[in-house]
């Protein structure tokens, strides 16, 4: 692991998701559309490198520059335009941000950067104009839960194509979600659909998780998104969630890509957590643990165990839903199950293959090693 992230394993997981997701999005979207990347809370924040390589803004610049260059090299391919908008409220951090990104602002080479010194929510009109007709990816990474009131920023989302990643600061929210203090309760209104949010919480969930769920449904309706899912990132050295990265999209391909990115990130994070826990133990006891790399493999594998558990739940869900609402095209099954479960498209293929082998559903996709494709019909096998 890079030294820049020692003790910041959660930030590393966040940056991993951002980087991988941006890469996937850029290569899918840039051949057809220009892209605008908006980082509402840019930093730099607790960075450890001189060139800010461990900041979200530099990660985005480097991924987007690389994608633009590679796509432009393709035969008969137009050179896509990329724009980046970075806002930062802290004057000192802004000065660093401004100087660090200035050399990359090259509108003549179709790579334009705009910076805003001030609050993200106050830059909405400027961002709106800057995005123009391009495809926006908006990254919101606050230190708490304020600064991005949906009523004020939702105009950025109301376009046919738009993707949003939000770092939902679960640990802080969970700490304050039980508060009876009027001001604290009101401070959550802007991301939970306004006053009275406590009455809208799912009573079957613990308070923190119910708030996170309400946050996602509020985001979904504020931006008219088709899909909003989230990834839980645990604290590096404790068994509890630190934050959730919520992802909102209007495109099922985005959902499929995000679930793959999530899986890769969680496996990586699991390994890094073992190393972080081991460092903590060594610092306490002064003893080296010879078994930690073996343990890392086990922990990495535990993500696959979660996936297996999710597959069992999803299989039961599918078998209950098919007689009521089926048959479905395989692509609809994927969309339905990826929203509800932490699964990838490949897992849904395997679920269908297993169900067909056991005679519960029909094999409509052919024999051998074939697996269902988008248009194949998933239906129960008649007795
Ligand atoms: C968690 S840090 C961002 C880290 C950065 N995205 C990264 O991953 O490298 C949040 C940043 O937002 C800034 N900030 C706080 N409130 C803000 C607001 N309302 N608008 C814009 N920036 C804000 C803080 O000064 C801080 O630099």
Query: The tokens of 62 are what?
Result: 């480097």
State the distance from the centre of ligand 1 to the C-alpha of 143, rounded, in angstroms.
6
Q: Which residue CA neighbors atom 16 of ligand 1 most closely?
A: 89
Atom of ligand 1 nearest to the CA of 87: 21
Instruction: Provide the pLDDT for residue 6.
Output: 87
Mean pLDDT, residues 4-24 taken together: 91
Does the structure show a pLDDT above 90 at 49? Answer: yes
Question: Quick one: pLDDT band at residue 1, thresholds 50, 70, 90?
Answer: very low
Q: For 284-307, what is the mean pLDDT?
A: 67
Tell which atom from ligand 1 comes closest to the C-alpha of 18. 8
Kindly give the distance from the C-alpha atom of residue 41 to the centroid of ligand 1, in angstroms, as a whole number. Answer: 3
Question: For residue 360, which of 323, 309, 334, 306 has the smallest C-alpha distance?
Answer: 323
Q: Which residue's alpha carbon is nearest to atom 15 within ligand 1? A: 89
DSSP H stretches of helix in 182-250: 182-187, 207-223
Residue positions counted in the chain: 383
- Centroid of ligand 1 to alpha carbon of 116 (angstroms): 12
User: Which phi and psi angles does 246 have, rounded to 5°?
Assistant: -90, 140
Phi/psi for 37 (5° steps) reads: -100, 125
Distance 42 CA to ligand 1 centre (A): 5
pLDDT per residue as tens digits for the range 179-231: 999 999 999 999 999 999 999 999 999 999 999 999 999 999 999 999 999 99
- 333-361: burial string, b at 16+ Cβ within 10 Å, e else: bbbbbbeebbbbbebbbebbbebbeeeeb
Token pair listed for 356: 């067909």
Tell me which of 42, 122, 139, 169 to substitute to probe ligand 1's pocket, judged by most ligand atoms within 8 Å of the beta carbon: 42
| Residue 106 DSSP code | B
Ligand 1 centroid distance, CA of 52 (Å): 14
At 333, list the tokens.
């099954």
pLDDT of residue 296: 58
Indicate the angle between helix axes 330-340 and 345-357, nearest 10 degrees.
120
Per-residue confidence band for 297, with pLDDT thresholds at 50, 70 and 90: low
Query: How many whole angstroms from 55 Cα to the centroid of ligand 1?
Result: 11
Closest CA to ligand 1's atom 6: 42
pLDDT digits (tens, 9 = 90+) for 267-291: 888 887 777 777 776 676 666 565 5
C-beta of residue 261 within 8 angstroms of C-beta of residue 229: no
**Stretch among 4-8, 12-16, 295-299 having the lowest mean pLDDT:** 295-299
Cβ atoms of 197 and 212 within 8 Å: the answer is: no
What is the average pLDDT score of the chain? 92
CA distance 326 to 173: 39
Contact 36, 130 (CB under 8 A): yes
Residues 6+ apart with CB under 8 A from 187: 145, 146
Contacts of 228 (CB under 8 A, 6+ apart): 216, 217, 219, 220, 246, 247, 248, 249
Question: Which residue among 45, 96, 116 is best mutated to probe the pocket of ligand 1, counting the most ligand atoms within 8 A of its Cβ?
Answer: 45
Ligand 1 interacting residues, C-beta cut-off 6 A: 40-43, 45, 55-56, 87-90, 93, 119-120, 141-143, 147
What is the model's pLDDT at position 65?
A: 97
| Backbone angles phi and psi of 116, in degrees to 5 | -130, 125
Identify the pLDDT of residue 280: 72
How much is the average pLDDT of 316-320? Answer: 98
Q: Look up the pTM and report it.
A: 0.92
Gap between the Cα atoms of 218 and 150, Å rounded: 8
Average pLDDT of the residues in 116-129:
98
φ, ψ of residue 221 in degrees (nearest 5): -80, -30
pLDDT at res. 333: 98
96 Cα to the center of ligand 1, angstroms? 13
Contact between 145 and 172 (Cβ < 8 Å) = yes
Strands (E), the chain: 35-39, 82-88, 111-117, 135-140, 163-168, 227-234, 241-249, 328-329, 377-378
pLDDT at position 90, please? 98
Question: According to the model, what pLDDT value does residue 287 have?
Answer: 64
User: Ligand 1: which of 37, 48, 88 to mutate, most ligand atoms within 8 Å of CB?
Assistant: 88
Arithmetic mean of pLDDT, 14-22: 94
Q: Please report, rounded to a whole number, the percentage of residues in the chain having pLDDT higher than 70.
A: 94
Does pLDDT of 368 surpass 60? yes
């Amino acid at each position: 692991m890079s030294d820049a992230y020692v003790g910041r394993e959660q930030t590393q997981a966040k940056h991993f998701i951002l980087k991988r997701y941006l890469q996937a999005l850029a290569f899918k979207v840039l051949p057809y559309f220009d892209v605008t990347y908006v980082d509402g809370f840019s930093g730099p924040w607790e960075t450890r490198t001189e060139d800010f390589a461990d900041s979200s803004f530099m990660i985005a610049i480097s991924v987007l520059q690389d994608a633009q260059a590679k796509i432009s090299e393709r035969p008969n391919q137009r050179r896509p335009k990329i724009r980046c908008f970075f806002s930062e409220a802290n004057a000192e951090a802004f000065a660093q941000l401004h100087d660090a990104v200035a050399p990359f602002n090259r509108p003549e080479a179709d790579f334009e950067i705009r910076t805003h010194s001030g609050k993200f929510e106050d830059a909405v009109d400027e961002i709106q104009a800057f995005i123009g007709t391009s495809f926006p990816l908006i990254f919101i990474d606050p230190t708490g839960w304020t600064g991005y009131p949906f009523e004020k920023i939702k105009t950025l989302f109301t376009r046919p194509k738009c993707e949003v990643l939000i770092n939902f600061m679960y640990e802080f929210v969970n700490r304050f979600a039980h508060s009876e203090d009027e001001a604290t309760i009101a401070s959550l209104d802007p991301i939970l659909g306004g006053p009275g949010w406590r009455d809208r919480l799912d009573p079957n969930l613990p308070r923190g998780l119910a708030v996170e769920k309400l946050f996602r449904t509020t985001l979904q309706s504020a931006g008219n998104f088709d899909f909003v899912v989230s990834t839980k990132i645990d604290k590096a050295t404790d068994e509890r969630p630190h934050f959730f990265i919520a992802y909102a999209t209007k495109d099922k391909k985005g959902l499929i890509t995000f679930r793959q990115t999530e899986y890769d990130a969680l496996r990586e994070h699991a390994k890094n957590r073992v190393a972080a826990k081991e460092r903590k133990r060594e610092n306490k006891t002064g003893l080296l643990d010879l078994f930690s790399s073996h343990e890392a493999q086990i922990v990495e594998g535990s993500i696959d165990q979660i996936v297996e558990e999710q597959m069992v739940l999803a299989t039961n869900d599918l078998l209950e839903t098919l007689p009521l609402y089926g048959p479905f095209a395989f692509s609809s099954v994927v969309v339905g199950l990826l929203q509800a479960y932490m699964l990838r498209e490949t897992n849904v293929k395997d679920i269908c293959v297993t169900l067909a082998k056991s005679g519960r559903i029909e094999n409509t996709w052919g024999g051998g090693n074939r697996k269902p494709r988008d248009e194949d019909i998933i239906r129960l096998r008649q007795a």
